[in-house]
Amino acid sequence: MTIKLRGVMQSPVTPLKSDFSPDLPTFERLLDFHVRSGSPAISWPHHKGESLNLTIAERKRLAEAAVKVVAKRVPVTIHVSALAVEDTMELARHAQEIGADGILAITPYFWKPSREAIFDYFVRICTSIDLPVISYNSPSYLAGVEITGELMSRLIERLPNFVGVKEASFNSEKFIELSRVALKLRPTFAMLTGVEYLLPSVPLGGVGSYSAAGSICPNLCNSLFDACVAGDWPRARELQYKLSRLWLLFRDQYPSSLKGGMVIMGRPVGPTRAPLPTATPERQAFIRAQLEALGILDSEPHGW
Amino acid sequence: MAGDRLAGLVHAPVTPFTRAGRVDFEVYGRLIEFHLRHGADALALPMHAGESVSLTETERRALIEHAVKQVRGRVPVVVHVSDAGTGIAAAHARHAEAVGAAAIVATTPYYWTPPPAMVLEHFAQIAAAVKIPFLVHNAPEEMAGTRITAELALRLMERAANFAGVVDSSLDWQFMIELVDTARGTRPTFRLLSGVEYLVSAGAIGAKGALSSLAALAPTAVRRLHGLCAEDQLFEARGVQEEIAALLQLLKGSGAAGLKAALHALGRDCGDVRPPLRPLGEVERGALVERLEAFAMLRAEPRGW
């Protein structure tokens, strides 16, 4: 029941055909690209993978494909968060059945659950399967609903398979409230962050992140992690500033703009499902100019 | 004042009151000496931890003049000039400069929750009132969500040659990184300072200093944390940062009242807080003191003056 979580772990977008149906062959090619370009783990479908715009049946079908294509070269975790908690439970069981290495689950959407309700929710998920569970904290997207240090300590004490957190508040105080409590109780606990915010988190015990821009610039992601663990802060700063500019570029209409950028990099993955827009040719031209200015076109792989 | 003189550890003292509720200038003098002996590279006053908004205009000016005289140029004094009205804040700024402040600092205007264009105008007018460096304090949690953006900072640079940096209490990585990255191209001397004692992440991002009110309580630990971060010893700083984070959490709910109660427990009595803040009750005070005694870190801190 162990899983190694370290480095900038990629979460693929979900390629769609022009009729907005899932494009399975391109999805398989993208998974392979991420593994070959050095991702230490794969996690799908994050919000950037349009998880909430896929049906439960589609999520299961593509999760199976992910496990099969990656074929144990690196660990695969499945993001099981859904609007209905019953669907989350179903996706968690399914992830275990198909041989995934772990799951990721955010605090429940929409309802603004109390701290006790969040506790019960994670207990229910973690006790329903044997897989390692990574929690996901994103208070700015969920109206302040969050995992506090106190809640974190109770979850770790109660649940042996509660192994990590994707801490996506991007806030010094919130990160350290979780890291100092979690790492004391469970030294192997994986403190992860979102996007690629490694520079402010690795010095506090962070061991990695998920990734926004990894389908555009895997080399930059991996170099930033290396610089941070080596304590080469001047270099880490430059790399983090560059990745931050990319995040500002893609954060606008995320992940539509990311899919637009992938066209530029020779890895087209089709449109984005509504209510998200699809990047227009004008938007793509703007993204190309930005990528060129940042030197991404010369330093990162083109095509599959 | 050279820009790099703003780059160190800036202590933000509380404001002592007598039993009768008047500013206690005698204790204030003693407190300032304490800060200078215990690692302050500069002072910032009266910040919110110094109950700036609870002082009358007359008291505020007297306090600043007293502080500048007491310090006698040994370290720079940064004067806090925030107010609701732009003209009033600008007048505070002019007074600060006239009595010898080395720099001024201001938050977004109180109460109005202004949109960015109004915030920009507010800051531009305060900056234009003086020639000394002007720092903007970004404290969205205290200011009902009104925040500085990197774009707003860039536009303020175009308007104000003396806009020298941002003191950040948002603790927001996205903002801090964008600010440092965009500001350096426009104004190389521009500084990011931490407004709360979470220095490791801010230091990694590129902050060059910090404002600290906790330094009244734990000056040794804050100095150590600041020193390690200033030398890019970020992994080494984690331990002391975690201890300081725990102390910040203990004091978080009670604000200036909790800080004053803690100072009293360490033998540095600065009186109580002014209304509308309420001093801690006996039970709360007892619980706080008990929990403070459990902090190993505080055993290495000075007791008394």
Interface touch A203/B238, C-beta < 8 Å: yes
Select the residue of A176, A231, A240 nearest B242 (Cβ to Cβ).
A176
Beta strands in chain B (DSSP E): 9-11, 42-45, 77-80, 103-107, 134-138, 163-168, 191-194, 209-212
Written as six digits, the tokens of A139 are 């208070």
- Can you give the residue ranges of every domain in chain A? 7-215
Give the separation between CA A272 and CA A25, rounded to whole angstroms.
Answer: 17
Beta carbon pairs, A and B, within 8 Å? 82
Q: Does A203 touch chain B (CB under 8 A)?
A: yes
Within an 8 Å CB–CB cutoff, is residue A247 touching chain B? Answer: yes
Return the active site residues of A: 136, 166
Average pLDDT of chain A, as a whole number: 96
Q: Is B196 on the interface with A (CB under 8 A)?
A: yes
Longest dimension (CA), chain B: 53
Rounded to 10 degrees, what is the CA torsion of B27, B32, B36, B41? 160
Q: What is the pLDDT of residues B1-43, one digit of tens each?
A: 444 567 799 999 999 999 999 999 999 999 999 999 999 999 9
Cα distance between residue B218 and residue A254, in whole Å? 44
Tell me if A244 and B234 make a contact (CB, 8 A cut-off): no
Search chain A and give the residue with CA nearest B203. A200
The beta strand positions in chain A, using DSSP E, are 7-8, 42-44, 76-79, 102-106, 133-137, 162-167, 190-193, 208-209
Q: What percentage of chain B reaches a pLDDT higher than 90?
A: 96
Q: What are phi and psi of A211, to 5 degrees?
A: -145, 140
CATH 3.20.20.70 is the classification of domain B3-234: yes
Q: Pick A180's closest partner by Cβ from B181, B204, B242.
A: B242
Using a 10 angstrom Cβ sphere, with 0-12 exposed, 13-18 middle and 19 or more buried, the burial of residue B282 is: exposed
Count the neighbouring beta carbons within 10 Å of the beta carbon of residue B278. 12
Residues of A in contact with B202 (CB under 8 A): 172, 200
Determine the Cα–Cα distance for residues A289 and B226; give it in Å rounded to an integer.
Answer: 40
Q: Is B17 helix (H, G, I), strand (E, B) or coil?
A: strand
Instruction: Say whether residue A299 is in contact with chain B using an 8 A CB cutoff.
Output: no
Q: Are A244 and A220 in contact (CB under 8 A)?
A: no
* pLDDT score of B183: 96
Mean per-residue pLDDT, B199-211: 97
Query: Are B202 and A171 inside 8 Å of each other by CB?
Result: no
Q: Is pLDDT at B290 greater than 90 in this prediction?
A: yes
The neighbour count for residue B296, using CB atoms within 10 Å, is 8
**Reported ipTM:** 0.95
**pLDDT band, residue A1 (cuts 50/70/90):** low
Do B165 and B192 form a contact (C-beta atoms < 8 A)? yes
- Measured between CB atoms, does B202 come within 8 Å of chain A? yes
Q: Is B159 exposed, middle or buried (0-12, 13-18, 19+ CB in 10 A)?
A: middle
Q: Contact at 8 Å (CB) between A197 and A8? A: no
Given a cut of 50, is residue A113 above it in pLDDT?
Answer: yes
CA dist B226 → A255, B6, B7, B236 (Å): 38, 14, 11, 12
**Superfamily of domain A7-215 in the CATH hierarchy:** Aldolase class I (3.20.20.70)
Query: Nearest Cα to A192, choosing from A8, A2, A59?
Result: A8
Cα-only R_g, chain B: 18
Task: Write the CB contacts of A120 (distance below 8 Å, at least 6 apart in sequence).
Answer: none
pLDDT of residue B5: 66
Q: What is the DSSP letter of B102?
A: S
Q: B201 in contact with A at a CB cutoff of 8 Å?
A: yes
- Average pLDDT, integer, range A87-94: 98
What is the signed CA dihedral for A199, A202, A206, A211, rounded to 10 degrees? Answer: 30
pTM: 0.95
- Is A173 in Cβ contact with B171 (below 8 Å)? yes
d(CA A12, nearest CA chain B) in Å: 22
Of the candidates A176, A234, A244, the beta carbon closest to that of B245 is on A176
Which tens digit of pLDDT belongs to each residue from A171-201? 999 999 999 999 999 999 999 999 999 999 9
- Report residue B18 as tokens: 């007598």
Q: Order of strands, edge to edge, in the sheet holding A162-167?
A: A7-8, A208-209, A190-193, A162-167, A133-137, A102-106, A76-79, A42-44
pLDDT value, residue B1: 40
CA dist list (Å): B126 to A81, A265, A293, B154, B165: 48, 47, 36, 16, 14
